[in-house]
Each structure stands twice: as structure tokens, then as C-alpha cells.
């Protein structure tokens, strides 16, 4: 694969409600920041990929709201409806095709504007599943229990993810929920849908994120230290929840295998220095860690207990605080890429993982992580 | 640089106003299976899937995930792209970049819609700004009507002139077994059809269709083993210049279509599109747009389209046949509509269009229209790109 | 093989309504406040190309620059195009049929470069023509709604 | 003075009528009229699908063989939803689970009832409780209860 780098990033602060700002306002903010970060102008961008979702935005053709604000006038542009990691994947392919030298990828979402239960209920099969009343929380609870029971992972081990990530968030100015809590706090928080409790769950968030991808020749001329794309992969699992064994992150295993092959990674736990994983719920960081091959199946509970994924550990996971500390849907995957970019540049300030050279960013799509996208980045 | 990309197979459902015998996923599967069969492939040969439609048309969130049983993407990379009416062409363009990138060799592009499952106009209205535009906006029909009236005023065209487009496309559709509306109509039929939103009448506008289309894109290496008649993708272009409907510049040729066409011609070295193109599959949402926007293809001077059409230039036996398939006026399963243009253009240059084949067609243009007067353009040819 | 026609073809129906809190943003709010409080229509002017947009928004798409100069535009203008809608359809806002026929138009307000979309008082197609002068008719009780402008009416001398 | 930030409370209210299709119609018809679960079996991989598929998602071949499965099965996983939401078919707290009917290879998502919520366990044997008057949808089964 030809060398492509991330040369600019921009994020809003993630908040519960940005009621004063439109989607266009959020997009303009992060696009401007990303361009400034790279030290280039909109005229240096030759194509754009926007990421948005018509259900979350309450608008058919949700990308229409941000056409002016994303700088797409007179340019080739497209829209991915899915997690930001998938949008970035498309942006990368457009450069690799030889048609473009720089893609601006921007995602936005305002969870505050719609009804989370109704919107996520609409993910499920309209003929067979919606009527039962599933939404993102209850479906994830089905997955959490299945995973925990099959592999003997405990609620306390899941709670450790919440403790670690909310603590990491204290050092991330973009995070929405940053706090020092204990396992007991998590265990005593309101039960939402067994075994998921309030502090096991990510919040509703508003925000946007932009990244700029560029060909090598351009990446070498810009203001920032380029962060190179070394490997990528994505894959999808079956749809009906009953078609899957929810304890088996089949699609993630396939996506990771592809990304690792491309990046030449054989022992991910040893070779990767920092990872940003889509922990919409605490159990997900553990389940996805297994799918990513950081440990054997069922051992992620032990992994977090060992401190290996803490800031000072062998493989710090979610130094940003993760999705559990800010969950603008769709944006969240792109924010994972942005955080890994920050880490590999060495710009992590209070949350810098020392000597990080190789990083992993991960995004999910669909119910219970039906699809996954994995990025390996290198400084 | 990227690898060359060709279309090696296409599949469509038999388009109908309502397909109650299948759910959406089963409808998609019909098109997917036909495209695979046409390409001589099985599901296992597919490296990735790209799919698109409009969420609020069927009320399904994450359509790429929902459709996995029918889209062939189980345990494969799947991506959803969506841009309104342009979705179908957007899907095709995304599939093109998937292959051109070198990351995938065989990619399935799918567009679909089951318009029978909701009120299409209600769903389309939700594409407008919720506060400033939705209260007045009467969906595609009304929006296109305000455009049509502007064209009548500016170019002096009449309702009768526009009707020629419906008559031409519906005549062509008779020869296309997949088309939805397959009866010939006359100019009088169009003029006498019920007025929907002045000046657009029932027969000036596209129907609501249940249908799906799938297209297999392949790298040069794969294509050469699969077919001796690949349809090569030479150029693609997209313009989404507007955010509010009221921002659209209506002073000259349809701006995004014109810009996208000019970019494609410039990059392909086309100087005289009227003679260098052999056939066009044009996204004509209404007869009026289908008439006036011909000038945005750069095949005549601004405002001269009516002359081209009345001279028969765009008929099947004319210099530049437009919409041999019967076009959007005959079939409109919205998320598939743009992809059908691409599939039909590919069928033409591969000589696979059967009864509606333009003899000897080598180079075809496919266009997409949607969103806020946005456009996509693809240039497809039987000649391998240099 | 399944016997054809033995089973009636079923459907599943949903009437769920999705509520949204759509932010108008600082720019859109400015126009709405001016409409409500002062019966004024304001647009925003691009510092680079000078284009005046209604409704106001932050970015000039063409120039990709931030705009902050609000300018008052006239509540009078000309009818740039219009239609009268006769066919029946569901209004996604209410889930009910929208009353027809109704006329709406793209109005080029004096002082603005983009157009403004609103209802027309007139729904008789024979009494409407492109280029006619029109003016906004404001409601007495304005609540910060789109309907604070009742409609635009043709100015007949 | 803080600038006024206006938020418009709008909605999207578009009714949908989803076609169940021939296969799904047979499934719902048999459920409603005969209280039976009909599944389909892939001729190639032999996987038994419920709800019935017309095509195998993996082998991508048409499926024509129908067979009866259940009505009893076992609970693969479950949750007790404690919060209230408009989408719930019954008031919270409600139990939802994935049930693997005997003879099927895929699970069905449904409500769990007829039992104290604290007594529900994964692996539990369950059976359907049918409604008197079915409507031709999945709620023609009220819930699954311990068998």
C-alpha cells in the first residue's frame, strides 16, 4: 500500500448538549481546526467525505446540512453513513485510487436532538425484533451477559473499564465525563438493563471530529508530524441478534486480521503501544480487546486487573477516556483515530503514552458491534 | 497509482409499484443474485459490498447491517453511502474507488428502495431544512415544479416540449423487460394527465417503484478472467455545491451537472461530447429537467435542448440516444435509480442491453441527480483506459 | 416448495413518531428573533464575495469563510418561481395530509442574493406569474415560528 | 446578556408498512393459526433458520425446505430492562432474551414471562405462551415462560 498519512485533526469538546450550534456550526469548527492543525487552506483539500446518520440528525440526506460548512463547494464529495472509521476508510481509498492527494473526513452528531431509544430501536429488524422493544442498551445487555457467562468475566472486571477510562478522561480536555470513581461506585450505580448499570454505559453526546488524510508527498510538506496509515480492515457479522453468538466478536477478529496482516503485526499486544477502542459499554472494551487479539478469549478481565491496559501499563487502552467518556455516535470512531494521532505525535500532554510508536484505533457499526473497523497507525 | 476498474456484471429486479411478496432484504437478494450470475461469480468471490438508500423511506436505520442476508456481505467489509437521489451513483462511485484503491478486487454495489412501504413525498420532505424549508416544501414533485416553471419562463419552453421527454423515455421502456412502466404514451396523454404541482403533471414525473439494482466492479486482473466485454470506468465526478434549496444558482445551465460533466470531459480528453459519446443514461427526475438539463451535458448551447430533442437527436436512432432503458420517468426505486443508470450504461457499452441496445455503443455517460441540486457523472467505455 | 397463494401476504405497520429538538443555531435564531420581535428579515453577508444569504448561516460555502455581518433585507421582493401543489401527501411533521391546494414560492427579497421559501396567499395559478412583486404579511401574534410570516402576497397597485 | 438559542421541537412522523414477504407470511400465519414455528433449512450447509430465510445468507442458494421447530427451547441470554421507554411492548421492568428453539440453529428474540424476574437463568428451558387472538406478528406469542 502506498504511504498515506494523517496530517491534521480537529475536535469539538464533547458535551451533553450543544443547543446553540447547528450541525454546520460543529462541522465548520472542526474543519477549521483540522486545516489550522495541518497548516493548510481549504484550497489544498481536493475531496471531502462527510459522515452523518439520517436517523440521528432527523433528516433525510443529513449531509445536506453541512455541505457549505465542510468546504465541499466545487469539490468531489461523498457521504458515508456509518461510524467515522468507515468514513475515513473511504477517504483513504479515494487517495489510494490515485485520483486525489488529500481527503478531508468530517463526522458530526448531536445525540441531544433525538430520542436514543427510538433511534436505536430502528436499528433492529422491523419485522421480527423491533416489536420486542430492543434498543442499544438492552441489546448490549444481552451481549454482555452472554459474554460474561460464557467466559466467566465478572461485573467487577467490567466496572474496572469504567473506572480506568473515566479517570483517563480527567486529562483529556475534549472528554465529556471525567471523574475519579471506584468499582463500588459503578456496582452501586442504577441498574439499567442487567448486567449494565449507569456507570457501565456511555453518555449521550454532541460533537464533531475531522481528520485530513494526505499522500506522502503532501504529508512531508505540512506543519505537523505525519502519522502513517499502516494497516486497515473492516468486516461485518450477521444481522439478527439470534443469528450470532454474541460472545464471539467474529467480525472484529476478521477486521483485525486484515489490518494486522497489512501492517505486518504478528503479536498485537507486544507490538502495539496504545489503543483506542470503541467502549460504548464497559464490557465492550474487554470483549473487543479479545477480538483484537490482545489476549486469549475470556482473559480480558484478567488483563485489565493486571493493570496492563492502564496508562502506565504495557498496552494502555483509551488514554482519551474512550467512548464511555463521550459518545457522539459516528463521530466516536473518528475521535479514536484523532486520539491515536495525538498520541503518536507525542502531543498527549498529561495523558501521553510514553514512547508510543504504533497505535490502534477501532470503530463499530450496527447493533452489538455487528461490524468493526480497525486502523493501525504509526509515527 | 490506482488500478483500472471495470463493470463485469449487473442485476436488476423486475421493477414494480409494490412487491409485497418479498421483504426489503429479499428484494435486494434478487438483484444481488442476478448480478453475481451475470458476472459468473459466487458470493465467496466478492471482496466488499457498498450499499445505499434513504433511511426514512423505509424507516430502517443502518441499512447496510440490516440487509446483510441479501447483500452478500456476511463476514465481509460493508459500507453504506447515501446522498439522496444521487445515492445510486454515489454507491457506484464508492465501489469504483474501492477497487481503484487496490485494496479490493471484486466489489458489489447495491442500490434499492421499497417506496411502497411509506409515503414517498412525506419522506422526501424530511430532506429539507426542518425549520426554514419543510413547512412549504412539497417534496420532489413540488420542488421540481418550481424549477420547471423557471425553465418555461427563461427558455420559453412549453409543457408540450417537456412532454416529449416522457414520451421518448416511456417508448424506450417498452423494450426494457425490467422497466416499471412499459406502455407507450403520447404528448396528449401527458398534457391530459392530472396536475400534481403546476406545471408538473402525473406523466411528467417519475413513478414510485419497488426495486433493487446490483453491479459488480472488478479490477483489470479479475475482469480479464470474467468477461471479454468489460465496461471500463474512465472518469467519475461529483458536485454538491448547495446547502439550502434557495441557494441554488438558477441563472444558467444546471450548475452541478455542468461542472461535473466538464471535469469528466477535461480529464478524459473529450472535446465534442455530442459526437464522442454514444449513449447517455441520464437521471431525469421530471420531463422538464430531462429536457433542459441536456444543455448541462455540454452537447448543445444553453437553452438549445428543446431543438435537439424535437430533431430526434436523443431518440434511439439519433446521434446521441438518451435513456434507452426508459430512464427514471419509467422506473424510480430511488436509492437504486442512479445505479440503474450506471448498470444500463455498462450494459450498452458491453453490448448486453438486448432489445434496447444502441448498436455499436462504445462510450456512455451516466448521471445522477439528488440532494440539493447535486450531481454525479460517470464515463464508461468498452475501450480500456490508457 | 411453498404452495403459491396459500398464505396471505402480510405486512407489519409502524406509526412511531420520532421527536427532534432541532437547534436553529445562533444565526438562524437571529432571523427568527428579528421576525418575531421587529417584523424584520435579516440575512448575512459574506465578507469576501458580498453575497447576502437568507436564512443566515455561519459559512459562505463558496468562499469557505466565516460570516458575521447581519444585514437587514426588505420584506418585499419578487417572485422568482413558484408552484401550486394539488396532489395529496402526508406532512411528516404532523403525520396528517397537508391541506391542498396551496401555493409556495421562491422569493428574491430586495437586498438578498439567495431566495426565501414561503407560502403564497394566492393559490390560483392564473393569478401568479414569475417576476410579480410580493411582500411578507406578518402575523399579529408572533411566537417565534415559521408562521410568524403568514405568507407572501402579491403587491397589486 | 446570553444570546437566545432557539430550539425547534419538530418530529418525523411517517408511517411505515413493511412487507413481510412470502416466507415471513407463512411463518406468521402458522404462528397465529396453528401455534407452530416453521423454519427453513439450507440445502447446502443444512443450517435451520428462524425466522425463515428464503436464501442462505452464507451459501447464497435458495432455500425451499420447511420444517417445524420448537415450540420449546432454551434461553441463550437475557436481560431485565429496568428503565421505561416508549418502544417497550410492556411496562418496565421487562425481561427480554434470545431463545434457541429445539431444532433451530438461530435464536429468536422475545419476552420472558410467567416467572419471577430474579429466577430467570441462561440455559433455562422455556416454552411459548400464545395470545388468544393473534394479529400476525411476533407478539402473537405473549412471552416465553419456564417449561
B383: closest CA of chain A, how far (Å): 20
- Distance in angstroms (rounded) separating the CA atoms of residues A220 and B10: 42
Among candidates B76, B81, B123 on the partner chain, residue whose Cβ is nearest the Cβ of A79: B81
Q: Which domains does chain B have, with CATH numbers?
A: 1-386 (3.40.47.10)
For residue C152, is pLDDT > 70?
Answer: yes
- Distance in angstroms (rounded) separating the CA atoms of residues B203 and B286: 9
Are the beta carbons of A138 and D89 separated by less than 8 Å?
A: no
Structure-block grid coordinates of residue D12: 418525523
Radius of gyration of chain A (CA): 19
Write out chain A residues lying below 8 Å of D50, CB-based. 242
For residue A15, tell me if it sits in a domain: yes
The whole-number average pLDDT for the span C72-91 is 97
C33 touches chain D (CB under 8 A): yes
b/e for A106-123, b at 16 or more Cβ within 10 A?
A: bbbbbbbbbbbbbbbbbb
How many residue contacts between A and C have a Cβ separation below 8 Å?
69
CA distances from A39 to A27, A220, A346, B200 (A): 18, 12, 18, 50
Among candidates C54, C81, C92 on the partner chain, residue whose Cβ is nearest the Cβ of B122: C92
Structure-block grid coordinates of residue B109: 454495489
Residues on B contacting D at a C-beta cutoff of 8 Å: 18-24, 26, 29, 33, 36, 42-43, 56, 58-59, 68-70, 72, 74-75, 114, 116-119, 122-123, 126, 130-131, 134
Domain harbouring A28, CATH code: 3.40.47.10
Among candidates B19, B119, B123 on the partner chain, residue whose Cβ is nearest the Cβ of D19: B19
* Ranges in chain A, pLDDT < 50: none
Alpha helices in chain A (DSSP H): 23-38, 54-57, 84-96, 116-121, 136-151, 155-169, 183-188, 216-219, 250-263, 268-271, 282-291, 300-305, 331-345
Are the beta carbons of A60 and B124 separated by less than 8 Å?
A: yes
A55 touches chain C (CB under 8 A): yes
Among candidates B2, B55, B98 on the partner chain, residue whose Cβ is nearest the Cβ of A55: B55
* A223 burial type by CB count under 10 A (0-12 exposed, 13-18 middle, 19+ buried): exposed
**Helix or strand holding residue D135 (H, E):** none
Helix B87-100 × helix A84-96 angle, to 10°: 60
Write out chain B residues lying below 8 Å of D59, CB-based. 43
Q: Where are the domains of chain D?
A: 21-146
Are the beta carbons of D82 and A192 separated by less than 8 Å?
A: yes
| Per-residue pLDDT, C156 | 87
| Per-residue pLDDT, B291 | 98
Q: Which residues contact B271 (CB under 8 A, 6 or more apart)?
A: B265
Q: pLDDT tens digits, residue range B31-40?
A: 999 999 999 9
The whole-number average pLDDT for the span B223-241 is 97
Angle at A229 between CA A228 and CA A235, to 5 degrees: 165
- Cα D139 to its chain centre, rounded Å, is 8
| Per-residue pLDDT, C6 | 80
| Per-residue pLDDT, A42 | 98
Structure-block grid coordinates of residue A252: 472484529
Write out chain C residues lying below 8 Å of A126, CB-based. 12, 14
pLDDT band at B66 (very low <50, low <70, confident <90, very high): very high
Are the beta carbons of D122 and A145 separated by less than 8 Å?
A: yes
Structure-block grid coordinates of residue A113: 436532538
D24: closest CA of chain A, how far (Å): 9
Q: pLDDT tens digits, residue range B157-176?
A: 999 999 999 999 999 999 99
Write out chain B residues lying below 8 Å of C131, CB-based. 153
* Ranges in chain D, pLDDT < 70: 1-3
Q: Which residues contact A260 (CB under 8 A, 6 or more apart)?
A: A231, A233, A266, A268, A293, A376
For residue A284, tell me if it sits in a domain: no
Bridging pattern class, strands A102-110 and A47-51: parallel
Among candidates C14, C28, C58 on the partner chain, residue whose Cβ is nearest the Cβ of A126: C14
| Per-residue pLDDT, B386 | 87
Interface test with C, best of D1, D9, D15 (most C CBs within 10 A): D15
Write out chain D residues lying below 8 Å of B36, CB-based. 60
Yes or no: say if B71 and B30 are a contact pair by the CB < 8 Å rule.
no
Among candidates D10, D76, D81 on the partner chain, residue whose Cβ is nearest the Cβ of A138: D81
Are the beta carbons of D22 and C2 separated by less than 8 Å?
A: yes
Are the beta carbons of C61 and A69 separated by less than 8 Å?
A: yes
For residue B248, is pLDDT > 50?
Answer: yes
A19 touches chain D (CB under 8 A): yes
- Distance in angstroms (rounded) separating the CA atoms of residues A198 and A188: 9
Specify the number of domains making up chain A: 1
Which structural domain range is residue A55 located in? 4-115+204-219
Bridging pattern class, strands A274-276 and A358-365: parallel
Are the beta carbons of C23 and A18 separated by less than 8 Å?
A: yes
Give the E-state strand segments of chain D in sequence order: 7-12, 16-19, 37-41, 48-49, 65-69, 73-81, 94-101, 108-112, 125-130, 141-146
* B140 burial type by CB count under 10 A (0-12 exposed, 13-18 middle, 19+ buried): buried
Q: For residue D132, how many C-alpha atoms fall within 13 Å in the half-sphere facing its CB? A: 0
Structure-block grid coordinates of residue B78: 460493508
Q: Scanning every residue of chain D, which has its alpha carbon at the shortest distance from the alpha carbon of A147?
A: D77
Alpha helices in chain D (DSSP H): 21-34
Interface test with B, best of D9, D13, D17 (most B CBs within 10 A): D17
- Distance in angstroms (rounded) separating the CA atoms of residues B314 and B305: 10
Radius of gyration of chain C (CA): 21
**Helix or strand holding residue A368 (H, E):** none
Among candidates C14, C57, C64 on the partner chain, residue whose Cβ is nearest the Cβ of A24: C57
Structure-block grid coordinates of residue B31: 438483484
| Per-residue pLDDT, C4 | 57
For residue B1, is pLDDT > 90?
Answer: no
| Per-residue pLDDT, D1 | 41
Amino acid at each position: 500500500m502506498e504511504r498515506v498519512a494523517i496530517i491534521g485533526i480537529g475536535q469539538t469538546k464533547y458535551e451533553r448538549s450543544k443547543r446553540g450550534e447547528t450541525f454546520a456550526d460543529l462541522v465548520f469548527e472542526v474543519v477549521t481546526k483540522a486545516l489550522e492543525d495541518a497548516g493548510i487552506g481549504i484550497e489544498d483539500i481536493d475531496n471531502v467525505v462527510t459522515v452523518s446518520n439520517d436517523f440521528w440528525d432527523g433528516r433525510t440526506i443529513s449531509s445536506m446540512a453541512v455541505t457549505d460548512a465542510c468546504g465541499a463547494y466545487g469539490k468531489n464529495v461523498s457521504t458515508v453513513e456509518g461510524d467515522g472509521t468507515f468514513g475515513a476508510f473511504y477517504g483513504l481509498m479515494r487517495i489510494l485510487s490515485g485520483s486525489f492527494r488529500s481527503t478531508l473526513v468530517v463526522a458530526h452528531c448531536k445525540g441531544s436532538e433525538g430520542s436514543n431509544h427510538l433511534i436505536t430501536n430502528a436499528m433492529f429488524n422491523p419485522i421480527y425484533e423491533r416489536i420486542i422493544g430492543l434498543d442499544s442498551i438492552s441489546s448490549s445487555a444481552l451481549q454482555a451477559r452472554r459474554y460474561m457467562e460464557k467466559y466467566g468475566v465478572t461485573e467487577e472486571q467490567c466496572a474496572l473499564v469504567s473506572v480506568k477510562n473515566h479517570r483517563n478522561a480527567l486529562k483529556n480536555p475534549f472528554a465529556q465525563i471525567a471523574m475519579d470513581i471506584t468499582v463500588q461506585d459503578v456496582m452501586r450505580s442504577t441498574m439499567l438493563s442487567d448486567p449494565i448499570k449507569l456507570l457501565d454505559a456511555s453518555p449521550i453526546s454532541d460533537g464533531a471530529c475531522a481528520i485530513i488524510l494526505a499522500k506522502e508527498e503532501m504529508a512531508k510538506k505540512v506543519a505537523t508530524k505525519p502519522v502513517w496509515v499502516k494497516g486497515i480492515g473492516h468486516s461485518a457479522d450477521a444481522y439478527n441478534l439470534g443469528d450470532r453468538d454474541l460472545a464471539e466478536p467474529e467480525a472484529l477478529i476478521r477486521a483485525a486480521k486484515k489490518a494486522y496482516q497489512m501492517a505486518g503485526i504478528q503479536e498485537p499486544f507486544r507490538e502495539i503501544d496504545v489503543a483506542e477502542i470503541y467502549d460504548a459499554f464497559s464490557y465492550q472494551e474487554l470483549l473487543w480487546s479479545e477480538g483484537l487479539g490482545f489476549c486469549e478469549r475470556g482473559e480480558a478481565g484478567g488483563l485489565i486487573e493486571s493493570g496492563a491496559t492502564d496508562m502506565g501499563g504495557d498496552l494502555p487502552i483509551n488514554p482519551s477516556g474512550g467512548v464511555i467518556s463521550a459518545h457522539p455516535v459516528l463521530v466516536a470512531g473518528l475521535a479514536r483515530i484523532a486520539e491515536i494521532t495525538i498520541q503518536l505525535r507525542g502531543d498527549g500532554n498529561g495523558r501521553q503514552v510514553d514512547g508510543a510508536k504504533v497505535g490502534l484505533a477501532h470503530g463499530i457499526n450496527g447493533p452489538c458491534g455487528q461490524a468493526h473497523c480497525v486502523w493501525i497507525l504509526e509515527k | 497509482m490506482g488500478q483500472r476498474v471495470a463493470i463485469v456484471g449487473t442485476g436488476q429486479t423486475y421493477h414494480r409499484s409494490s412487491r409485497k411478496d418479498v421483504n426489503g432484504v429479499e428484494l435486494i437478494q434478487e438483484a444481488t443474485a442476478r448480478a453475481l450470475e451475470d458476472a459468473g461469480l459466487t458470493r465467496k468471490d466478492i471482496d466488499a459490498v457498498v450499499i445505499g438508500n434513504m433511511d426514512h423511506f423505509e424507516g430502517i436505520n443502518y441499512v447496510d447491517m440490516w440487509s446483510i442476508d441479501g447483500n452478500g456481505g456476511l463476514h465481509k467489509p460493508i459500507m453504506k453511502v447515501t446522498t439522496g437521489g444521487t445515492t445510486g451513483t454515489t454507491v457506484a462511485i464508492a465501489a469504483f474507488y474501492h477497487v481503484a484503491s487496490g485494496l479490493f478486487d471484486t466489489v458489489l454495489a447495491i442500490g434499492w428502495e421499497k417506496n411502497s412501504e411509506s409515503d414517498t413525498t412525506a419522506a422526501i420532505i424530511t430532506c429539507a431544512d426542518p425549520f426554514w424549508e419543510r413547512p412549504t416544501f412539497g417534496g420532489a414533485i413540488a420542488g421540481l415544479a418550481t424549477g420547471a416553471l423557471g425553465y418555461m419562463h427563461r427558455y420559453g419552453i412549453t409543457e408540450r416540449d417537456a412532454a416529449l421527454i416522457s414520451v421518448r423515455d416511456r417508448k424506450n421502456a417498452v423494450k426494457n423487460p425490467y422497466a416499471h412502466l412499459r406502455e407507450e404514451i403520447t404528448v396528449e396523454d401527458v398534457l391530459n394527465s392530472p396536475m400534481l404541482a403546476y406545471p408538473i403533471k402525473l406523466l411528467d414525473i417519475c413513478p414510485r417503484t419497488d426495486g433493487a439494482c446490483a453491479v459488480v466492479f472488478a479490477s483489470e486482473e479479475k475482469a480479464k478472467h470474467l468477461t471479454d466485454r468489460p465496461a471500463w470506468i474512465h472518469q467519475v465526478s461529483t458536485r454538491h455545491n448547495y446547502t439550502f434549496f434557495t441557494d441554488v444558482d438558477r441563472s444558467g445551465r444546471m450548475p452541478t451537472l455542468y461542472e461535473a460533466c466538464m471535469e469528466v470531459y477535461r480529464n478524459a480528453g473529450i472535446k465534442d461530447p455530442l459526437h464522442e459519446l454514444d449513449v447517455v443514461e441520464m437521471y431525469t427526475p421530471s420531463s422538464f429537467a430531462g429536457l433542459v438539463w441536456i444543455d448541462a451535458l455540454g452537447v448543445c448551447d444553453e437553452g438549445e435542448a428543446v431543438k435537439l430533442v424535437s430533431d430526434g437527436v436523443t431518440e434511439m436512432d439519433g446521434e446521441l440516444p438518451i435513456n434507452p432503458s426508459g430512464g427514471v420517468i419509467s422506473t424510480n426505486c430511488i436509492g437504486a435509480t442512479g445505479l440503474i443508470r450506471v448498470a444500463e450504461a455498462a450494459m450498452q457499452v458491453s453490448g448486453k442491453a438486448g432489445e434496447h441496445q444502441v448498436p455499436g455503443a462504445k462510450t456512455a455517460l451516466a448521471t445522477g441527480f439528488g440532494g440539493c441540486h447535486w450531481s454525479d457523472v460517470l464515463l464508461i467505455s468498452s475501450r480500456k483506459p490508457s | 416448495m411453498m404452495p403459491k397463494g396459500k398464505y396471505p401476504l402480510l405486512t407489519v405497520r409502524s406509526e412511531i413518531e420520532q421527536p427532534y429538538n432541532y437547534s436553529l443555531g445562533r444565526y438562524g435564531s437571529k432571523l427568527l428573533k428579528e421576525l418575531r420581535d421587529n417584523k424584520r428579515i435579516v440575512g448575512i453577508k459574506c465578507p469576501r464575495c458580498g453575497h447576502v444569504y437568507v436564512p443566515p448561516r455561519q459559512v459562505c460555502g463558496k468562499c469557505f469563510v466565516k460570516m458575521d455581518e447581519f444585514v437587514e433585507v426588505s420584506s418585499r421582493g419578487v417572485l422568482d418561481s413558484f408552484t401550486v401543489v394539488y396532489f395529496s401527501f402526508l406532512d411528516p411533521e404532523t403525520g396528517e395530509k397537508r391541506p391542498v391546494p396551496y401555493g409556495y414560492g421562491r422569493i428574491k427579497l430586495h437586498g438578498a442574493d439567495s431566495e426565501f421559501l414561503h407560502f403564497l396567499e394566492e393559490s390560483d395559478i392564473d393569478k401568479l406569474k414569475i417576476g410579480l412583486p410580493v411582500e411578507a404579511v406578518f402575523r399579529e401574534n408572533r411566537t417565534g415560528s415559521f408562521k410568524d410570516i403568514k405568507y407572501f402576497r402579491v403587491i397589486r397597485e | 446578556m446570553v444570546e437566545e438559542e432557539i430550539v425547534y421541537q419538530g418530529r418525523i412522523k411517517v408511517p411505515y408498512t413493511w412487507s413481510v414477504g412470502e416466507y415471513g407470511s407463512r411463518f406468521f400465519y402458522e404462528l397465529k393459526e396453528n401455534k407452530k414455528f416453521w423454519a427453513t433449512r439450507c440445502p447446502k450447509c443444512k443450517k435451520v433458520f428462524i425466522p425463515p430465510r428464503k436464501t442462505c445468507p452464507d451459501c447464497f442458494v435458495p432455500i425451499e425446505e420447511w420444517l417445524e421447530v420448537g415450540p420449546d427451547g432454551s434461553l441463550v441470554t437475557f436481560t431485565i430492562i429496568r428503565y421505561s421507554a416508549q418502544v417497550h411492548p410492556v411496562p418496565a421492568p421487562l425481561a427480554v432474551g434470545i431463545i434457541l428453539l429445539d431444532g433451530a440453529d438461530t435464536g429468536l428474540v422475545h419476552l420472558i414471562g410467567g416467572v419471577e424476574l430474579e429466577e430467570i437463568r441462561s440455559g433455562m428451558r422455556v416454552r411459548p405462551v400464545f395470545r388468544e387472538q393473534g394479529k400476525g406478528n411476533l407478539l402473537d406469542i405473549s412471552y416465553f415462560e419456564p417449561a
